[in-house]
Amino acid sequence: MEGPESSSGASSSAVADWSLVFWTLCSVLLPVLITLWCSFQRSRRQLLMRDIFRKSKHDWHYTDLFGQPSYCCVCAQHILQGAFCPCCGLRVSEGCLKKADQRFLCKEIMMRSDGGAPSAMPHHWIRGNVPLCSCCKVCKQQCGTQPKLCDYRCVWCQYTVHDDCMVDHLKTEKCTFGEFRDLIIPPYYLSTINQMRKDKRTSYEKVVPYSRKHWMPVIVLANTRSGNNMGETLLGEFKILLNPVQVFDLSKITPAKALQLCTLLPCNTVRVLVCGGDGTVGWVLDAIDEMRIKGQERYIPQVAILPLGTGNDLSNTLGWGAGYAGEVPVEQILRNVMEADGIKLDRWKVQVTNKGYYNLRKPKVFTMNNYFSIGPDALMALNFHAHREKTPSLFSSRIINKAVYFFYGTKDCLVQECKDLNKKIELELDGERIDLPDLEGIIVLNIGYWGAGCRLWEGTGDEPYPLARHDDGLLEVVGVHGSFHCAQIQMKLANPLRLGQAHTVRLILKSSKMPMQVDGEPWAQGPCTVTITHKTRALMLYPSGEQTDDEASSVSEQDHVREQTDEDV
């Protein structure tokens, strides 16, 4: 009699079990399926965006979060994420990207004309997302204050105008290119020069703005991999203010190719702004030397520096500062470049010849702008370089980079791998052999600063020594006792061992393998002869109204001499 009841109970229990299994599977699989579907849709949207990016004349970039309140230029809705063009300043939502690409024109880097060579062009107005604290050209009141898509900005002259102040004559008015007209290459200029070259005409002087008296076009070369990784942001800001054809990313094009633009511009007027570390500056100066070899000497530009590297000793010496972290607006940087004065920088040839009777290798040849060293600081640079090659993603900050240098310097204080260097090396200054005291390192200086901001030759400044200059054809040679001595010098607690000044320096490494470096590029070197001779002089710029480091030192030395004279009197 209990059979039917027990069977029905068993079946209901089985149903309950299967129901539990079903809902358990649903709770597990449903989130997985939703995640996969969302991932598929996102990948599909990314492919569509990449296709639009590739075919577009805009330089589209995608961001997950805009840095300031932004509105879509198509639907006028407030957006947190979307695409933007760093050249013309357009900002759009992901869904409006295709419409924006078809509806709005980007900055034209070259403007073709059927009616001869134009000398002017109309404004190129873009509505909305005007810069903060910008003023209307017409009524002089602040623009962009309303929480919506409003007001206009010209992508060339950077003038802003209220919606209510925009009248018909402004839409057809000729653009003056604004404050930086003397730095901008107009879009009609390059097309005109290109056509004249095809016609084998060389009378460029008649082309405006070639004929303008104060035109000094600037070329921006930015290394996006330098120091604190600000290069990408700076590229976009310079493209907004200048013609995008003037702005180059050195991770995508070499300086030698970028500098060929100089041959289309007036002779002896071009200025180059290098955004990067001292290594990037050296790379650009090497490309300029190649221009000399090609017979393009009249097109050689003057070089300014925006320091993005870790040490930035060359930039510091020339008055451009010890490091840039965004504290100065890009507009002010361009003003500094426009007003900068010229100065020369000695460049030196470093030849390393390996020793040995059967050595058939060619000597290694380097170009030195800053300094050459053998010993503890070269060892720190070598360890740092090896670590960065293994894990480059970790070295994206100046603070991290300097912390790693500090770690290896502390390690060398304990190990002393470069001990008794004076017994392993001979030093000659202008052919005269120098007796070396006990030391672990020798540093040959071309500029005033060393080790990320240390005045090495002057030391603590309590002893009168000839001033170090970067344009006198002389090298300063100093010795250090070790890593701890280097740290003491940087803290101005000790002086270096000043070995002398010379026009030619020769070092002979007699035995063992020692670390060496030229301008931060280290290597381990066996027995060899190192010869340093003058190579050429580079045309550099330093900020107007600012003293270079050498000039400041010269003034302080003169003041010191006057004080001593007054005391004697």
The domain ranges of the chain are 41-104, 120-178, 182-205+213-339, 347-536
Cα–Cα distance between 211 and 365 in angstroms, integer? 42
Helix, coil or strand: residue 541: strand
Q: In what order do the strands lie in the sheet with 371-374?
A: 497-502, 475-480, 441-445, 371-374, 514-518, 521-525
CA–CA gap between residue 214 and residue 121 (Å, rounded): 20
CA nearest neighbour of 52 among 103, 101, 88, 118: 101
Beta-carbon contacts of 257 under 8 Å, excluding residues fewer than 6 positions away, are none
The three-class DSSP label of residue 302 is strand
Measured distance CA(89)–CA(87) in Å, rounded? 6
Instruction: Please give the DSSP secondary-structure letter assigned to residue 116.
Output: S
Give CA 129 to chain center in angstroms: 27
* CA angle, 460 then 464 then 466, to 5°: 105
| Phi and psi angles of residue 148, each rounded to the nearest 5 degrees, phi first | -165, 175
Look-up: residue for tokens 């050459």?
Answer: 372
* CATH number for region 182-205+213-339: 3.40.50
Domain 41-104 has CATH 3.40.710.10: no
Angle at which helices 483-490 and 376-390 cross, to 10°: 90
Q: 120-178: what CATH class?
A: alpha beta
Q: Let me know: does 185 contact 107? Beta carbons within 8 Å.
A: no
The domains spanning 120-178 and 347-536 adopt the same CATH topology: no
> Was domain 347-536 assigned CATH 3.30.70.270?
no
Q: Cα dist. 171→152, 175, 183, 468 in Å? A: 11, 10, 24, 57
Amino acid at 495: N
pTM, two decimal places:
0.84
Q: How far apart are CA 390 and CA 292, in angstroms?
A: 37
Per-residue pLDDT 10s for the chain (569 aa) are 455 555 666 667 777 778 888 888 888 888 888 888 888 777 777 777 788 888 888 989 888 899 888 999 999 999 999 999 999 999 999 889 989 988 999 998 887 655 445 667 889 999 999 988 889 988 989 998 888 999 999 999 999 999 888 887 777 788 889 999 999 999 888 888 888 888 777 777 777 776 677 899 999 999 988 766 788 889 999 999 999 999 999 999 999 999 999 988 888 889 999 999 888 999 999 999 999 999 889 899 999 999 988 778 999 999 998 888 888 899 999 999 999 999 999 999 999 998 865 666 788 899 999 999 998 888 887 877 666 666 666 655 666 666 665 665 565 555 567 788 888 999 999 999 999 998 989 999 999 888 877 888 887 666 667 778 899 899 999 998 887 888 788 788 888 889 999 999 999 998 888 999 998 888 989 899 999 999 999 999 999 865 555 555 444 444 443 444 344 43
Q: Is residue 529 within 8 Å of residue 516, measured between CB atoms?
A: no
CB-based contact 126:73 (threshold 8 Å):
yes
Q: Give the torsion sign (CA, 175, 177, 181, 185).
A: negative
For tokens 């929480």, the residue is 147
